Structure 1
Amino acid sequence: MIKELLISEFLQEAENTRKVLEAIPDSALGWKSSEKTWSTAKLASHVATIYAWYPEVLLSDAFELSDFKYERENHSASKNILQKFEENFSLAKEAFEKLDENKLSTPWTMTMKEKVLIPPTPKYNIIRTTLFNHLYHHRGELIVYLRATGNKVPGFYGPTADDKF
C-alpha cells in the first residue's frame, strides 16, 4: 500500500518535473541568480540526475557517493537535459517497481569515502527527503530562474500567473 502511494506521487511529480524542464529555453541556460549559484543549465542537469539516484536508494541499503558515476549530458541545449531526465526517469521507475515494500523501514546510509553523510535512516524517510523533497526544492529554484529570465512558468497544482482565465 505504501509503495503504491509513493509510486503515485513519484509519477505525478515526475510529470511536473518534465513540465519545468520543457519550459527552459536554451537562451536561459547560462543565467545565474548570483555568483554562488549554479547556472540554469547546471541546476536543471542536477534535477535530471537526481532520478539516477533512485536505484541506489530503493534497491540497496547504502550509497557510497564517491562510487556514483554521473553521466553528464551536454547541457548546452535544453533538449539534452530533458533527454537525460527521460533516461534517468526510466531507471527510477524500474527501481520503484522492484522495490520490496517490506524494506521501507530498513536503515539506509550514505557515505563518501567512508565518511558518513547520512547516518542509518529508514529507507522510507530517505525516499521522502533525499529523493522527493530534495528534487522539489531544486525544481522550485528552476521556477524562480524561469520567472527571473522572463519565461513562462508551467502550472503544477493549478494555473500560474501566465495562464489566462
Structure 2
Amino acid sequence: MSLINFYFEQLNQESATTRKMLQRIPNDKYDWAPHVKSMDIRRLATHIAELPTWITMAFTTEELDFASAPYSPEYADNNEQLMQLFEKSAEDGRSQLIPENESRLNEKWVLRNGDTILVDTTRSGLVRIALSQIIHHRAQLGVYLRLLNVPIPGSYGPSADEMEFQQSAEAAV
C-alpha cells in the first residue's frame, strides 16, 4: 500500500472517531474550560476541526511562518457550525491524498516563527503530525467531556461508558 493510501485510510478512520467525539459537545459548554491555562472547548474543538486542512497545507506550501502569516482560526458557536467546519476540513485534507502526491511526500516542509524553526520535516511528516494532533487533541477533548459528565464514545474499542451501557443491557435480559 502506498503512503498516500495509508494516510487516506487513516484520515477516514480518525474522522469517524473524531466526528463522534465532536458531536458530544453540549452547545451550552463552548465557553467552558477546565483550568485558566487550558483552552476553552470552542477553541479546542475548532482546532480539532481544522487540523485536516494541515494535510492540504503540506502539499500546497513549503512552509508556514507564524511571523508573516499569523494563525486566525474559525470559531464555531454550536455543534452544527462545528460539524460543518470539520466536514469541510476533512474533505479538504482528503483532496490532497491522491496518487499524484505520493512522489512529493519526501519534499521538505518547515514550520517557523520568523527565524525560529519550530518543525523541520517533510510533507509526509506534516501529514503524520496533523493526524497525530487530531488524535492528541481529541483525547484532550475526551477529558473535558468526562469532567462535564458527558458520556464518551469509544476510540479504538468501547469506552467505559459504552461498556457500562452494554453490561446494564445484558443484565436486563
> Does TM, scored on the shorter chain, surpass 0.5?
yes
Report how many residues are paired: 162
- Return the TM-score normalized by structure 1: 0.87
Gaps of 5+ in 1: none
Map 1:59-98; keep pairs closer than 5 Å.
Answer: 59-65=60-66, 66-67=68-69, 70=72, 72-73=74-75, 75-97=76-98
The 1:53/1:122 distance shift into structure 2, 3 A limit, reads closer
Gaps of 5+ in 2: 167-173
Match of 2:170 in 1: none
Distance in structure 2 (CA, Å) of the matches to 1:111 and 1:6? 24
Percent sequence identity is: 25
Secondary structure of 2:152's counterpart equals coil
> Deviation at 1:69?
6.3
Distance in structure 2 (CA, Å) of the matches to 1:107 and 1:60? 10
The 1:25/1:98 distance shift into structure 2, 3 A limit, reads farther
Letter in 2 for 1:82: M
> Deviation at 1:137?
1.0
Distance in structure 1 (CA, Å) of the matches to 2:148 and 2:115? 41
Map 1:104-143; keep pairs closer than 5 Å.
Answer: 104-113=105-114, 115-119=116-120, 121-129=121-129, 131-143=130-142
Larger radius of gyration: 2
- Return the TM-score normalized by structure 2: 0.84
Distance in structure 2 (CA, Å) of the matches to 1:115 and 1:22? 37
Can you list the C-alpha shifts for 1:1-35, whole angstroms capped at 9, x where unaligned?
A: 11111111111001111111111111322221100
Aligned residues of 1:59 and 1:98 also touching (Cα < 8 A): no
